[in-house]
Amino acid sequence: MELSLTLLSTTGFGGLFSRESSKPLQRDKPVVYDISAIPQGESDLLAAALLACWSNGFATVNIAGILADAGLEPRRLYFLVMDELHRILRAGGGMMVDRIDYLTRLNRAEMVGQAMITHTMKDLKALPESERLKAMGFIERSGMVILGGLPGAEMPDLTPVLPLTQEEQAKLASWATPPSQSAKEGVKQDPPGRGKFLIKVGGRPGIPIRVRLTQRELNLTNTNRKWQEVEAQRRAARAQAREAS
């Protein structure tokens, strides 16, 4: 017992699980679990955190359902967003694949919808064979698949589970093309596929859309901020050098 308490208070697991939560989960408000602070190499710690978040989230959903059945709370529908799906699948040692597989089969009974977001089919192919076959079923059972730009090499893995016409494949490949270069300093061309997506529902023709973000959303989702800061510093240094000469 003493050893267990010591480990709980000194290891990375202890720092994660031995403290009281400062933000209790509320059933009527959106919740985000941010585990980005866990290093990529800490696979055991990441798996433990994911399973804890999953258990806590679905326990809350179950409680909400029981209270609604008893007429003590209004019936609520929950929507689960799993971003960076490859991290979730690889971290759980098979457990997360099984849990997500269960959800994709019985989400109607649980009254939970879900969106699974990943970068490439290779994220699924990298799993062990038994888990890979289950993960491929996630796409087959999806009521709607939304695709961004994808290289042509992705199509042989994608089309067996999601039928795409030659025109749709060419459109997706064109969106994956890198932006053209600009000769003017400080001017960046937008990638041709920025904000463009293809909505596929079963075998029906895909619906191309373009998403436009507000300035506040652009500032919030800007993952190039550090690069832009460096480039701005370099332009300022070059401008000062030209003025000094």
Nearest to 134, CA basis, from 100, 93, 86:
100
pLDDT digits (tens, 9 = 90+) for 162-186: 899 999 999 999 998 887 766 565 5
CATH number given to 2-178+188-213 = 3.40.50.300
Mean pLDDT of the chain: 81
Poorest-confidence range of 11-15, 82-86, 111-115, 187-191?
A: 11-15
Poorest-confidence range of 1-5, 117-121, 196-200, 231-235?
A: 1-5
pLDDT digits (tens, 9 = 90+) for 90-125: 765 667 788 778 777 777 777 788 888 888 888 888
**pLDDT over 80 (residue 234):** yes
**pLDDT over 90 (residue 199):** yes
Q: pLDDT grade, residue 55 (50/70/90)?
A: confident
Region 42-61 average pLDDT: 77
Q: pLDDT grade, residue 5 (50/70/90)?
A: low
* Stated pTM of the model: 0.73
Nearest to 139, CA basis, from 128, 124, 127, 129:
124
Region 194-207 average pLDDT: 91
The alpha carbon torsion through 164, 165, 171, 174 (nearest 10 deg) reads: 80
**DSSP one-letter code for 79:** E
Strands 207-210 vs 196-200: parallel, antiparallel or unpaired: antiparallel
Give percent of the chain above pLDDT 70.
Answer: 87
**pLDDT top residue among 207 and 107:** 207
Q: With contact defined as beta carbons under 8 Å apart, do 107 and 142 qualify?
A: no
Give percent of the chain above pLDDT 90.
Answer: 16
Domain ranges of the chain: 2-178+188-213, 214-245
pLDDT digits (tens, 9 = 90+) for 136-165: 888 888 889 999 999 988 999 888 888 999
**pLDDT over 60 (residue 9):** no
